[in-house]
């Protein structure tokens, strides 16, 4: 909980049960009467895509596009939200150059559907889905099988997602809340909503 009844959730990676933990933390923050939310995806290199999709599903309206994937033949699959949103607050998402993969899926879904203001630095630009095949000698082969795009069909791979408001990071070291320029910008935005 930050000043001004702003809830803050830092997602370091999209591990198993991440979406469930996110929901529990959000529900606890609502008991403390938050009026807005900051989701910090800085330095989140990704993880399990379905976890990011589930979090997007908590925020987007039912049937909004979360993700578009294309295979090598250009065949598209569109992933849409399946539930009514449980989060109906102003949201700011923090990003930097280490926000990648599943983080970019969540950022793209929220940005393209106008559900959050993105603050920070351009994301990494890892927009591919890979499968790992185990070979008979025990070694593995990672093959890119699909590329994913934001709901507005913006390419992510090799490009990244530009935030709505660009703010350079304070430094590479951990800083106090007061010196975190990106976080301070997010707080300022939400106080004015």
Residue pair 37/6 in contact by the 8 Å Cβ criterion: yes
**Residue 141's beta-bridge partner residues?**
133
* Given 36, 57, 126, 180, the catalytic residue: 126
The span from the CA of 121 to the CA of 119, in Å, is 7
Which candidate in 40, 54, 57, 112 is catalytic? 112
15 has catalytic annotation: no
Q: Is 155 a catalytic residue?
A: no
Three-state secondary structure of the chain? CECCCEEEEECCCECCCHHHHHHHHHHHHHHCCCCEEEEECCCCCCECHHHHHHHHHHHCCCCCEEEEEEECCCCEEEEECCCCCCCCCCEEEEECCCCCCHHHHHHHHHHHCCCCEEEECCCCCCCEEEEEEECCCCCEEEEEEEEEECCCCCECCCCCCCCCEECCCCCCCCCCHHHCHHHHHHHHHHHCC
With CA atoms as reference, report the closest residue to 145 among 49, 56, 17.
Answer: 49
Identified catalytic residue from 81, 99, 101, 103? 101
Question: Does residue 126 carry a catalytic annotation?
Answer: yes
Q: Which residues are known catalytic residues?
A: 101, 112, 126
């Amino acid at each position: 909980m930050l000043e001004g009844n702003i809830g803050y959730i830092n997602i370091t990676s999209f591990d198993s049960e991440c979406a469930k933990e996110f929901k529990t933390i959000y529900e606890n923050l609502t008991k403390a009467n938050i009026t807005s939310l900051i989701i910090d995806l800085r330095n989140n290199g990704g993880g399990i895509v379905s976890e990011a999709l589930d979090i997007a599903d908590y925020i987007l309206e039912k049937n909004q596009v979360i993700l578009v994937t294309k295979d090598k033949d250009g065949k598209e699959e569109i992933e849409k939200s399946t539930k009514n949103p449980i989060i109906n607050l102003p949201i700011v998402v923090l990003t930097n150059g280490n926000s990648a993969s599943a983080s970019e899926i969540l950022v793209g879904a929220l940005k393209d559907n106008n559900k959050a203001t993105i603050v920070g630095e351009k994301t990494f630009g890892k927009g591919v889905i890979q499968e790992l095949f185990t070979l008979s000698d025990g070694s593995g082969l990672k093959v890119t099988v699909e590329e994913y795009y934001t709901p507005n069909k913006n390419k992510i791979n090799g490009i990244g997602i530009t935030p709505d408001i660009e703010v350079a990071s304070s430094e590479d070291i951990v800083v106090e809340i007061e010196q975190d320029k990106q976080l301070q910008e997010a707080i300022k935005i939400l106080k004015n909503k």
